Structure 1
Amino acid sequence: MSARPYLLSALGAALLLSACDQPKIVTEPPAKTAPAADRLTVRAQVVADMKPVPATLTTRDMAEARARISGTLVALSVKEGDVVRQGQRIGQVRDDRLTLQTGALDAQAAAAAAESTRAQADLTRTRYLFSQGIYAQARLDQIEAQAKAATANLAAARAQREASAELGTQGAILAPASGRVLLANVPVGSVVMPGQSIARITAGPLVVRIELPESQAQALKVGDIVDLAAEDLRGVAARGTLTQIYPSITGGQVTADVAAPNLPGDLIGQRVRAAVKIGERQAIIIPRRYVVTRFGVDYARLVGANGVISEAPIQARASATADTVEVLSGLRPGDILTPAEAGR
């Protein structure tokens, strides 16, 4: 009876050893095959080589409302952001010396007018006496010369008075163009000089102004398409046309203007992301539906010679259209793809 437990233990150990010697059977999932429809053969194609460049939303020109005379700024009726029309009075410069000068010239003109009246009276009297034989021809010629001189002095005095009065009216500061006031930072009461800028006003149509190195600007030509970031322009414009290339080079940079429809004009000077075409290159462009993204990694579903699907990680970026992507690495021409949802 005591040997039975040892016999049972030996029998269990033998069964375990026999079970370990048996090979394990692993069941592999069946390979996925791609349908014949919607297969895509990868090919390289020529695309535009786009270069990101700095750009600014601005207007074609900037107008400066300047003071035409020296004096004190006594009024400024606009502020940044106001919309003005061409010729609108936006400020006033006053010089008290001009008022005094005009008054003095008024007195001179009145004196010249009195002298001219007296000379004309002398001329009338002398002509009468000459006709009566009392005065000689020399006396008449002398009086006529004095009358002409008095008339000329009167005209000169009046012209000087009008010039002084006109100079006083030039104290009005007028908007040189219709647009929006960008800068008006001269406080009322300041002493200004002739030619000093009082306000800066937009002029001309809205444009996106770009800058790029002179070595790359040689490929630019008027009419080229420029891609603009729609989110920087409130979604109203995503593509523009190159309308002007400025011939001057500043700091190794070439400046050009891009026109686009419905550009917002309330934030002049806003930075805009832009990309211009500087050449052409070979690229792999595939529809976005052939790419699947998992955990931030993009995959393409490759179809082998036997139709079996395998996934390959790729590096992709946005293309010119929303429904395509450009593959930077992971694929090569000749590869066959199937849509991301095929073979599932």
Structure 2
Amino acid sequence: MLNVARQSSAAAKAFAAIVLALIALPMAASAAAAAEMKLAPRIVPETKAVFGQVKSRDVVAARARIGGTIEKISVDEGSEVEKGEVIAVIIDDKIPIQKRAADAKIEVLRSQLANANTDLERAQQLRTTGAVSQSRLDEASTQVQVYTNQLAAAEAERAVIEQNAREGEVLAPASGRVLDVPVTPGSVVMAGDQIATVAGGGYFLRLSLPERHAAEISEGDTVKVGDRVLSADGAARKIEPRIGRLVKVYPEIEDGKVKADVEVDGLGNYFVGERTLVWIPVATREVLTVPRQAVTTRHGIDYVTLQTKEGPVEVAVVLGRRFAPQAKDEAADTSAPDANAETVEILSGLEAGDRVVLP
């Protein structure tokens, strides 16, 4: 009976050993298939989030060219205008009167010129018969020249009056968006008064950075620009950064701030003066990163498996910011295990040179 019990116990132990071996085989195969990577510092840009204000390249005033009363205004704040478009009409009641006076003067001079031409023709005929002297003929010819010149001057004066009438049309000085219309129909204005303000020439972002970053930024830097927080219908939406370029850094520091301009496409739907977030690179730092799939989380604690002389060892780590996958043309070594994969910063727990086991 005792021998039977011993044989049963030995059989159970053998069965257990076989089960453990079967379990260990996949684990060993998985461990053998796992890749490794050697941690090395990675240089990443340090960015600062600031607000950029939408500015227009040109802010020009549409001014009255003559004095008078505004008859109509065809634009309002926010209207889109093209250069040369009529945006208002100014009426001067004196211009029609001056025009009628000029027309009457021209008719008088035309009649006098016709009489002078008749006298000249008669004098020329009489001169052939010797009935009049040469001085009388010269006098008639001079009179024709005088009336001709006077008529030309009167017609020029009438052209000036007509030009003044046409200048009653206020034209848009540039293509863009109307920002302000400080007058209303019926207002009395003088020549040079502002009728509207037009923002044109495209839009850019004006940044204001602390002066400690003045030496760390340079023209040509790539920046990230946030989209509008509110959509056209007023509903909040997710901010999706876009790529912009730092095109100008102003050499003067005012009130501890340095100004810079950023160009980015798609600012035409913004309000002039609207603010949006801009992330601008101001420094660089070294970080240690591992692929996100190399991190295991259990009970709220993050672990990374290291390959040591004694074998794989799990180490608790503290994670930092995440980094998006690198583009193929930006990856220094596309054959590396972490190339083109999302990585995460390791704040503590690992150091350069450690061998990280990857799944």
Task: Give the TM-score normalised by the residue count of structure 1.
Answer: 0.71
**1:116-127 equivalence runs, <5 A:** 116-127=113-124
Distance 2:92 2:292 in 1: 71
1:160 match: secondary structure: helix
Counterpart AA for 1:56:
Q
Match of 1:239 among 224, 237, 243: 243
- Kindly indicate whether the alpha-carbon contact (under 8 Å) linking 1:302 and 1:337 is maintained by their aligned counterparts in 2: yes
SS at match of 1:129: helix
> Any idea what SS the aligned residue of 1:134 has?
coil
**Could you tell me whether the CA contact under 8 Å between 1:210 and 1:258 is conserved in 2?**
no
How much has 1:70 moved relative to structure 2? 1.9
CA shift at 1:91, angstroms? 1.1
The reply on whether 1:317 has 2:321 as its aligned counterpart is yes
2:161 alignment partner, one of 159, 164, 175: 164
- Residue 333, structure 1, aligned to residue 330, structure 2: no
Indicate the RMSD between aligned Cα atoms, in angstroms.
3.6
How far the C-alpha of 1:166 sits from its partner, in A, is: 1.0
CA–CA separation in structure 1 for the residues paired with 2:124 and 2:181: 65
Q: Offset of 1:112 from its aligned partner?
A: 2.3
Q: Match for residue 271 of structure 1?
A: 275
- What does 1:278-293 correspond to in 2, within 5 Å? 278=282, 280-290=284-294
The answer for the alignment partner of 2:313 in structure 1 is: 308
Contact 2:219 2:249 in 1 (8 A): no
Partner SS state of residue 179, structure 2: strand
* Alignment match, 2:337: none
Alignment equivalent of 1:143, drawn from 131, 140, 144:
140
One-letter amino acid of the counterpart of residue 263, structure 2: V
1:184 positional shift: 2.4
2:336 matched residue in structure 1? none
Count of aligned positions: 303
Deviations 1:82-138 (A, max 9, x none): 233333222111221223222322222222222222222222222222222222222
Tell me if structure 1 keeps the 8 A contact 2:321–2:344: yes
- Picking from 94, 100, 105, the partner of 1:108 is 105
Residues 69 and 188 of structure 2 are in contact (CA less than 8 Å); yes or no, is this contact kept in structure 1? yes
Aligned-residue offset at 1:336: 4.9
Gapped runs of 5+ residues in structure 1? 1-33
| Conserved? CA contact 1:42–1:335, under 8 Å | yes
Task: Select which of 205, 208, 224 maps to 2:205.
Answer: 208
Specify which of 125, 128, 131 is matched with residue 128 of structure 2. 131
Query: What runs of 5+ residues in structure 2 fail to find an aligned partner?
Result: 1-29, 232-238, 327-341
Q: Partner of 2:263 in structure 1?
A: 258
Kept in 1, the 8 Å contact 2:113–2:144? The answer is: yes
Cα distance, 1:230–1:42 mapped onto 2, change above 3 Å:
farther
- Counterpart amino acid of residue 224 in structure 1: D
Which one-letter code corresponds to 2:121 in the other structure? T
| TM-score, reference length from structure 2 | 0.69
Q: Structure 2 CA distance, aligned partners of 1:142 and 1:247?
A: 74
Report the Cα distance in structure 2 between the residues aligned to 1:274 and 1:299, rounded to whole angstroms.
32
Query: 2:250 touches 2:258 (CA, 8 Å); kept in 1?
Result: no
Identity %: 32
Q: Distance in 2 between matches of 1:232 and 1:45?
A: 33
Q: Distance in 2 between matches of 1:291 and 1:100?
A: 90
